[in-house]
Amino acid sequence: MFKRNLLNFTLISILFLLICIMPKVALAVEQRTTTLDLTTQNATIDMLSEEGWSWNNDTQTLTLKNANFDVTDSPEGTPTPCIKFPTNKKVTVIFEGNNTLIAQKGSVFNGVDDPATGIDGTETGSITFKSPNKGTLNLKVTESSSRGTYGNLGCVMKDVHDLNILSGTINCIGGIMSDGTVTISGGKLDINTENMTDGMSSTVEGIYAIKQVKITGGNVNIKSSNTSIKVPGMQGQLPDVEDGIIINGGNISLSTQSKYTIYTGNYRQKDIKINGGNITLKSEVGIYTNKGDIYINNIDSLDDTNVTGKTFQVNEGNAENEIKVATADYSNVDKAIEKAKKLNKNDYVDFSAVEAAINAVIRNKSILEQEEVDAMAKDIEDAINSLELVKNNDDKSDDNSNKDITPKTGSVDKINYLYVLAVISLAGSIILKRI
């Protein structure tokens, strides 16, 4: 009996230890195949363990944790979003783990009357995306129709007034549309619309924001069939802002199959201001404005602006449009020239390389040509470091340092001889006086 109890106790103990030390494996949540309509929810709902989502009605916060939405099995021709938010609200989306939202048409956030993929909009409200634990949100539309594909974060939005991306990784198959402003301050945003058509223009923008796009940080990579970032402006007399696109930081790579990577000012004055960031533009024309000015590092200048793909155009039919590119930083060139001026060229075998490097400096280069300006400074410094002192100068200094200042032996003997004679004469005169 004792042995049996001991055996049972041992087995129970081993089972308990195994349960404690076994890695905890999260159970997969169920896939949701119908629209999550939050416009009808007036209470807090927790479906994290069942479907990977929860909704806090008090704070208007949706939490996604390894959620899997697929609403592509909707009736043909019917735009069905994955998630539909209340209108005119400030909504926050917090995502953890790996989340996937797929819709057949339109956008993940889209309006009721437009084709929609995944998340339906807020009209004059806003949606803020953030992921404190570096989560991923995969948004995809499998079919585009009408201009609903402009509303997407994987066809993400329509009737979403303002969009804010703070952190996390968001991968979109389809473009993003905002009826107001798109602001990106962190995280990573990848958009691909290369193989999509919208039924009207046959191509789809990456980001289409009516009022403004502002990027201050994060990583933005867009591969689009139409313009990568487009800000047309409000039509009519509706309130608007003149700053269409502002880039103050971040790593931005824009590539398009169309003519322009950045385009503004279809209907209203829309300036483009690039003040910082590392930006690569791949298209026939990098930046174009139909109505507005282009400022490249000209306002609140930052040191780390690096724009490649250096073609910029304004609408020549509008005489007020200008391209204003800041002058490059010549401080290192000026320091190298001052260093050269302090040298005496007669002390060196050949000073011509230094003079040639100084004479080769071309002023008024723009910030887009900063690398060339930095190379000018380096050429002057290299020429100075290669200077060779004149050998004669070296010899003279050596002769002076090696001169023998010891008196000649003959001179010393002569001085000593005269000294002895003087002493003898003095002694002889003293002796004679005593006699």
Q: What is the pLDDT of residues 76-117, one digit of tens each?
A: 656 678 888 888 888 999 999 999 998 876 556 543 333 333
> What is the mean pLDDT of the segment spanning 36-41?
86
Give pLDDT, residue 117: 38
Give pLDDT, residue 370: 86
Please, which pLDDT band fits residue 154 given cuts at 50, 70 and 90?
A: very low
> What is the mean pLDDT of the segment spanning 274-279?
89
Measured CA to CA, the distance from residue 339 to residue 323 in angstroms comes to: 35
Please, which pLDDT band fits residue 358 given cuts at 50, 70 and 90?
A: very high
Please, which pLDDT band fits residue 228 given cuts at 50, 70 and 90?
A: very high
> What is the mean pLDDT of the segment spanning 322-350?
93
> What is the mean pLDDT of the segment spanning 301-320?
68
Sheet holding 212-215, edge to edge: 45-47, 53-56, 61-65, 90-96, 126-130, 162-165, 181-184, 212-215, 243-247, 271-274, 294-296, 323-325
Pairing relation of β-strands 323-325 and 162-165?
Answer: unpaired
Q: What is the pTM of this model?
A: 0.73
Q: What percent of the chain has pLDDT over 70?
A: 67
Give pLDDT, residue 191: 93
Q: What percent of the chain has pLDDT over 90?
A: 38
Contacts of 234 (CB under 8 A, 6+ apart): 210, 211, 240, 267, 268
> What is the mean pLDDT of the segment spanning 266-287?
88
Task: Give the DSSP letter of residue 116.
Answer: -
Residue of 190, 188, 263 lying closest to 226 (CA atoms): 263
Please, which pLDDT band fits residue 11 given cuts at 50, 70 and 90?
A: low
> What is the mean pLDDT of the segment spanning 314-342?
87
pLDDT at 380 over 60: yes
Measured CA to CA, the distance from residue 256 to residue 221 in angstroms comes to: 11
Contacts of 327 (CB under 8 A, 6+ apart): 364, 365, 366, 367
Query: Range with the lowest mean pLDDT among 86-100, 213-227, 409-423?
Result: 409-423
- The overall average pLDDT reported for the chain is 78
